[in-house]
């Protein structure tokens, strides 16, 4: 019987352990950031150990950095944590994309942009959105801090092999519908735990048509569906993306030949399959406090079916039967490792060009990395956003989790392109609605959610036409 | 890591589904660079009122549960962010065991690395345990993989490797470093063109 992409990636990296038991996997790339690494470095120091492969370890600062003035850090504890990373990287000889450097950005942006993220690699990071890198045909997953320490010391990790799940997506998405809607719809339909215990491979005609950036948005949110690993087979688009990047293999020809053997074999069988028709999809927005509480923008909020729903309604200040167009937004956030890439900013800019952010709304665009910020500025996007009344910020995680000064005030509704609408995620009492960048941008103008498949909005969105 | 074989303790139910790690330990407390002291902030937004006095409505604050060391939760406990701080907060607070219908995969691993035993039981079993009187002592027998209470014996599955590590309180890194030869051998076989 044939093998899946996931089986192949797994097998290539097994060092020890029997099938059916936890196995020791080699780690090709270990990405770290300031929040989940200090205790791991401390553990190394206490045990007198070193980082086994500093050249396979790469650090970024992203969660804590302020995005208004990156060098003016007023939160002293955050500052201490960032300094700890700087000191640790110096002590253990790990390359750091420091705050303010040319490559600075959210860890899941920096990996692909530098060419460190490649097909065939096992990539780990003390961050659950590591699945993002799976879009390149890598086996990428989030780990905890003890595991970070283990990878530091051994360049390996013990894992129980998850089962295979295939998500087959076919059909062309309609205009105004994006990769973000595909993943939001998938989670809304199958729940926040459909992927628990599985490595999920997304494939099909729809995926082949998507750009690398769009593919990353989907793999990024695999974890919101419970899957630690989300992935897609590498193809010509993947290779084209990698050409010329700083850390791409020198001998791309040989590398590509190797990578071509990765895609799932014709006769391979998944333990579980999901089918999704992308043609039927519409823009999705979440009404509640976990990513499965998403519905089409035009739908009315569902009946409360259990305690969790009741609690969510209460927290969000909403009621069953309400509609998205009833929501009065106070904040709009465009950014994060889900939707802080250049194409996301382009889509958002197209929607708002020549328009104005509604009075009373705080709207901000936070590019996911410095290269994105610079490319956007070269294309004049910053001017479009600023003319419309958006704040144009420095790169970082920003309001995706509000560990930095960017937070949504209590009780205020925020249209957000990030990935989690958990209680308190964007600030204490903040009310997050997840959606695509184009939807968020249009919402900034109208002050509430609109269906961007209609009227003037449709013309604004050039993509997918 | 502290070894965990037999644990006797009282239970506290918190049956919501999908309790994510943002709820277990809000990000405001992730900036510390130590592993200790997180217990104070466990379930912070539920546990405290705005003036930081204890919220009497929240179950952990009710006097009859003040000694509980076994948390009974719903499905998908510990989903969301990979923050190990969630496991540190639970152990620092005094929890030894979390019983749930299912767990987020990353949280599950983090728990086992910190001597916190994650037990998966059927939803009906979780609900039955949640109905036990607060004063009842429940026994968790890890070697025999059983939860023993006045309801009877509930068997649970756990991977033999994680079990052994928990039962013996073994340090993962030492075990792996014993395989250094194999790691070196693997490294020597990685094609050069993939290294750069
Ligand atoms: S942007 Fe958000 S989800 Fe992504 S790494 Fe930063 S905090 Fe995590």
Measured in degrees and rounded to the nearest 5, phi and psi for residue A461 equal: -85, 110
Please list, in sequence order, all residues whose beta carbon lies within 8 angstroms of the beta carbon of residue A390, skipping any fewer than 6 positions away: A332, A334, A352, A357, A363, A364, A365, A444
* Helix (H/G/I), strand (E/B), else coil: A379: coil
* Helix (H/G/I), strand (E/B), else coil: A330: strand
As a whole-number percent, the residues of chain A with pLDDT over 70 amount to 98
Contacts of A28 in chain B (CB under 8 A): 190
Say yes or no: B112 contacts chain A, CB-CB below 8 A.
no
Closest Cα to atom 6 of ligand 1: A397
Interface of A with B in 58-117 (CB under 8 A): 63-64, 75, 77-78, 80-81, 84
Measure CB to CB from residue B177 to each of A42, A153, A226 and give the nearest one. Answer: A153
Cβ–Cβ < 8 Å for B31, B142: no
Return the higher-pLDDT residue of A201 and B29.
A201
Q: Is residue A465's pLDDT more than 50?
A: no
**Shortest distance, CA A374 to any CA of chain B (angstroms):** 27
Say yes or no: B4 contacts chain A, CB-CB below 8 A.
no
Cβ–Cβ < 8 Å for B162, B116: no
pLDDT at A75: 87
Measure CB to CB from residue B31 to each of A15, A64, A144 and give the nearest one. Answer: A64
Could you tell me the distance, in angstroms and rounded to a whole number, from the CA of residue A178 to the centre of ligand 1? 20
Could you tell me the distance, in angstroms and rounded to a whole number, from the CA of residue A309 to the centre of ligand 1? 25
With bands split at pLDDT 50, 70 and 90, how would you rate the model's confidence at A464? Answer: very low
Contacts of B26 in chain A (CB under 8 A): 424
With bands split at pLDDT 50, 70 and 90, how would you rate the model's confidence at A221? Answer: very high
**Shortest distance, CA B163 to any CA of chain A (angstroms):** 12
Alpha helices in B41-177, H assignment, sequence order:
44-47, 85-93, 105-113, 123-130, 160-168, 172-177
With bands split at pLDDT 50, 70 and 90, how would you rate the model's confidence at B196? Answer: low
Chain B nearest-CA residue for A150? B173
Tell me the average pLDDT across B149-167.
94
With bands split at pLDDT 50, 70 and 90, how would you rate the model's confidence at A243? Answer: very high
pLDDT at B194: 82
Ligand 1 atom with the smallest distance to the CA of A335 is 1
Contact (CB<8Å) A77/B31: yes
Q: Is residue A463's pLDDT more than 60?
A: no
As a whole-number percent, the residues of chain A with pLDDT over 90 amount to 92
Domains of chain A with CATH codes: 6-275 (3.30.499.10), 286-461 (3.30.499.10)
The complex's ipTM works out to 0.92
Ligand 1 atom with the smallest distance to the CA of A336 is 1
Return the higher-pLDDT residue of A233 and B191.
A233
Interface of A with B in 286-315 (CB under 8 A): 290, 306-308, 311
Probe target for ligand 1 pocket from A59, A65, A401, A417, with the most ligand atoms within 8 Å of CB? A401
Interface of A with B in 353-412 (CB under 8 A): 401-403
Q: Which residues line ligand 1 (CB under 6 A)?
A: A 62-63, 106, 108, 127, 129, 336-337, 397, 400-401, 418-419
Say yes or no: B157 contacts chain A, CB-CB below 8 A.
no
With bands split at pLDDT 50, 70 and 90, how would you rate the model's confidence at A462? Answer: very low
Read off the pLDDT of residues A22-62 as tens digits, 9 standing for 90 and up.
Answer: 999 999 999 999 999 999 999 999 999 999 999 999 999 99
* Helix (H/G/I), strand (E/B), else coil: A276: strand
Contact (CB<8Å) B27/A401: yes
Best of A11, A132, A146, A156 to substitute, by most chain B Cβ atoms within 10 angstroms, is: A146
Contact (CB<8Å) A84/B186: no
Domains of chain B with CATH codes: 6-195 (3.20.19.10)
- Comparing CA positions, the residue from A2, A6, A4, A3 lying closest to residue A231 is A6
Burial B109-132 (b: 16+ CB within 10 A, else e): bbbbbbbbbbbbbeeebbebbbeb
Say yes or no: B105 contacts chain A, CB-CB below 8 A.
yes
Could you tell me the distance, in angstroms and rounded to a whole number, from the CA of residue A406 to the centre of ligand 1? 13
In DSSP notation, B111-141 reads HHHTT-EEEE--HHHHHHHHTS-TT-EEEEE
With bands split at pLDDT 50, 70 and 90, how would you rate the model's confidence at A460? Answer: low
Cβ–Cβ < 8 Å for A29, A117: yes
- What is the CB-side half-sphere exposure of residue B192 using CA atoms within 13 A? 1
Read off the pLDDT of residues A353-396 as tens digits, 9 standing for 90 and up.
Answer: 999 999 999 999 999 999 999 999 999 999 999 999 999 999 99
Measure CB to CB from residue A154 to each of B32, B107, B177 and give the nearest one. Answer: B177
Measure CB to CB from residue A128 to each of B18, B35, B82 and give the nearest one. Answer: B82
Contacts of B33 in chain A (CB under 8 A): 38-39, 42, 80-81, 84
Probe target for ligand 1 pocket from A127, A220, A341, with the most ligand atoms within 8 Å of CB? A127
Contact (CB<8Å) B176/A24: yes
Ligand 1 atom with the smallest distance to the CA of A108 is 5
Chain A nearest-CA residue for B160? A21
* CA pseudo-torsion sign A304, A308, A310, A313: negative
Q: Is residue A322's pLDDT more than 80?
A: yes
Say yes or no: B56 contacts chain A, CB-CB below 8 A.
no
Probe target for ligand 1 pocket from A143, A398, A400, A414, with the most ligand atoms within 8 Å of CB? A400
Interatomic CA distance for residues A192 and B70, integer angstroms:
25
Interatomic CA distance for residues A56 and A43, integer angstroms:
19
pTM over 0.90: yes
For residue A125, what are the CA distances in angstroms to A197, A277, B163? 19, 32, 25
Number of A to B CB contacts under 8 A, please give it. Answer: 175
Tell me the average pLDDT across A280-306.
97
Contact (CB<8Å) A146/B110: yes
């Amino acid at each position: 019987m044939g093998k899946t992409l996931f089986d192949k990636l797994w097998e290539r990296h097994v060092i020890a352990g029997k099938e059916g038991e936890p196995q020791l996997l080699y780690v090709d790339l270990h990405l770290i950031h300031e929040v989940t690494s200090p205790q791991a470095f401390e553990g190394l120091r206490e045990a007198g150990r070193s980082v086994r492969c500093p050249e396979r370890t790469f650090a970024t600062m992203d969660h804590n950095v302020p995005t208004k003035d990156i060098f003016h850090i007023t939160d002293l504890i955050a500052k201490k944590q960032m300094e700890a990373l700087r000191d640790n990287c110096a002590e253990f000889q790990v390359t750091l994309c420091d705050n303010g450097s040319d490559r600075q950005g959210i860890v899941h942006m920096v990996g692909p942009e530098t060419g460190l993220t490649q097909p065939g690699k096992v990539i780990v990071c003390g961050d659950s959105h590591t699945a993002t890198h799976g879009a390149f045909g890598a086996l990428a997953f989030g780990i905890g801090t003890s595991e970070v320490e283990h990878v530091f010391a051994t360049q390996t990790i013990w894992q129980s092999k998850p089962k295979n799940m295939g998500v087959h997506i076919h059909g062309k998405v309609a205009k105004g519908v994006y990769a973000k809607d595909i993943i939001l719809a998938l989670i809304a339909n199958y729940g926040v735990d459909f992927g628990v215990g599985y490595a999920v491979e997304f494939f099909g005609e729809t995926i082949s048509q998507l750009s690398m950036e769009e593919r990353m948005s989907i793999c990024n949110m695999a974890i919101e569906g419970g899957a630690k690993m989300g992935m897609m087979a590498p193809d010509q688009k993947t290779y084209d993306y990698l050409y010329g990047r700083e850390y791409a293999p020198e001998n791309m020809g040989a590398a590509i030949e190797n990578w071509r053997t990765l895609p799932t074999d014709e006769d391979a069988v998944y333990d579980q399959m999901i089918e999704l028709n992308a043609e039927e999809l519409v823009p999705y927005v979440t009404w509640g406090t976990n990513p499965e509480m998403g519905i089409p923008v035009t739908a009315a909020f569902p009946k409360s079916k259990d305690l969790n729903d009741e609690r969510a309604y209460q927290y969000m200040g909403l009621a069953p039967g309400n509609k998205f167009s009833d929501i009065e937004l106070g904040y709009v956030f465009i950014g994060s490792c889900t939707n802080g890439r250049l194409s996301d900013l382009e889509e958002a800019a197209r929607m708002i060009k020549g328009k104005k952010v509604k009075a009373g709304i705080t709207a901000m665009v936070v590019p996911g990395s410095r290269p994105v910020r610079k490319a956007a500025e070269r294309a004049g996007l910053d001017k479009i956003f600023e003319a419309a009344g958006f704040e144009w910020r420095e790169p970082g995680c920003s309001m995706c989790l509000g560990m930095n000064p960017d937070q949504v005030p209590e009780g205020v509704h925020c249209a957000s392109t990030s990935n989690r609408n958990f209680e308190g995620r964007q600030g204490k009492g903040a009310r997050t609605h997840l959606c695509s960048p184009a939807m968020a941008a249009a919402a900034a103008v109208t002050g509430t959610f609109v269906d961007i498949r209609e009227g003037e909005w449709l013309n604004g969105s050039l993509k997918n036409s | 890591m502290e070894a965990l074989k037999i644990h006797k303790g009282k239970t506290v139910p918190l049956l919501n589904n999908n309790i994510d790690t943002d709820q277990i330990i809000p990000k405001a407390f992730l900036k510390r660079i130590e592993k200790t002291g997180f217990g104070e902030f466990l379930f912070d937004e539920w546990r405290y009122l705005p003036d930081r006095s204890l919220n009497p409505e929240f179950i952990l604050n009710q006097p009859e549960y003040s000694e509980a060391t076994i948390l009974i939760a719903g499905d998908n406990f510990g989903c969301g962010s990979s923050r190990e701080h969630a496991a540190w907060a639970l152990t620092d607070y005094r929890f030894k065991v979390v019983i749930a219908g299912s767990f987020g995969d990353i949280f599950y691993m983090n728990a086992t690395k910190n001597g916190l035993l994650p037990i998966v039981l059927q939803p009906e079993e979780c609900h039955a345990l949640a109905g036990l009187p607060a004063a009842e002592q429940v026994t968790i027998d890890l070697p025999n993989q059983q939860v023993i209470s006045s309801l009877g014996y509930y068997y649970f599955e756990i991977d033999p490797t994680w079990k052994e590590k928990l039962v013996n309180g073994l340090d993962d890194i030492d075990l792996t470093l014993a395989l250094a030869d194999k790691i070196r051998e693997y490294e020597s076989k990685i094609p050069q063109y993939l290294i750069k």
